[in-house]
Amino acid sequence: MQINSAVNTAINKQIGMEFGAYLQYLAISTHFDVEGLSELAAFFKAQAEDERDHAERFINHVVAFNGKLEIPTIEAPSSNVNTIEEAAQLSLDWEMKVTEEINALLKLAGEQGDHITENFLSWFLDEQLEELSTMNKLLKVAKRAGDNELAVEEFMARHRGQQQPNPNADG
């Protein structure tokens, strides 16, 4: 069975977005690491690893479907993140864009009668809800903390590992 060419092209675009998110989160993690905010650095490093995992899931789907992998050019991440609030807003905006793209991909798969890809994408919908919720919460905390970055760092330390696990995640 061969993947529909329009769906294949859209998935390749999504792979680029996931790798772009990986690089952006890695850049943010590095910024906080340099600033000595190790909890935030670890949080964004974990986010980066999640995004790389997402890209690999899409790649595996293309391979399983005998598709053609063509990873698009990936833009350089923003390195102008100076505050936690800026990082959280950038991340929330990115996750909203990714959610829109996954919704469009789901719609395309349905229009093309690709029910296997529709089913595959349901995991990503659950994942995006978790990502949006997490970044929205971080943004709210950052806004409340204002210039007190150590308050956010302390919040992250207290809440490490307490995020709701995604029951549909498989590793």
Q: What is the CATH number of the domain that holds 90?
A: 1.20.1260.10
Q: Domain count of the chain?
A: 1
On whether residue 164 sits in a domain, the answer given is: no
On whether residue 171 sits in a domain, the answer given is: no
On whether residue 169 sits in a domain, the answer given is: no
Q: What is the pLDDT of residue 119?
A: 94
Identify the band that residue 162 occupies on the pLDDT scale cut at 50, 70 and 90.
low
Which range of residues forms the domain containing residue 35?
5-159
Q: What is the pLDDT of residue 79?
A: 83
On whether residue 167 sits in a domain, the answer given is: no
Q: What is the pTM of this model?
A: 0.88
Task: For tokens 């991340």, name the residue.
Answer: 91
Rounded CA-CA distance 122/128 in Å is: 10
On whether residue 154 sits in a domain, the answer given is: yes
Rounded CA-CA distance 13/141 in Å is: 33
pLDDT tens, 67-95?
999 999 998 888 889 899 999 999 999 99
Identify the band that residue 168 occupies on the pLDDT scale cut at 50, 70 and 90.
very low
On whether residue 78 sits in a domain, the answer given is: yes
pLDDT tens, 93-152?
999 999 999 999 999 999 999 999 999 999 999 999 999 999 999 999 999 999 999 999
On whether residue 168 sits in a domain, the answer given is: no
Q: Please write down the HEC assignment for all residues of 76-127.
A: CCCCCCCCHHHHHHHHHHHHHHHHHHHHHHHHHHHHCCCHHHHHHHHHHHHH
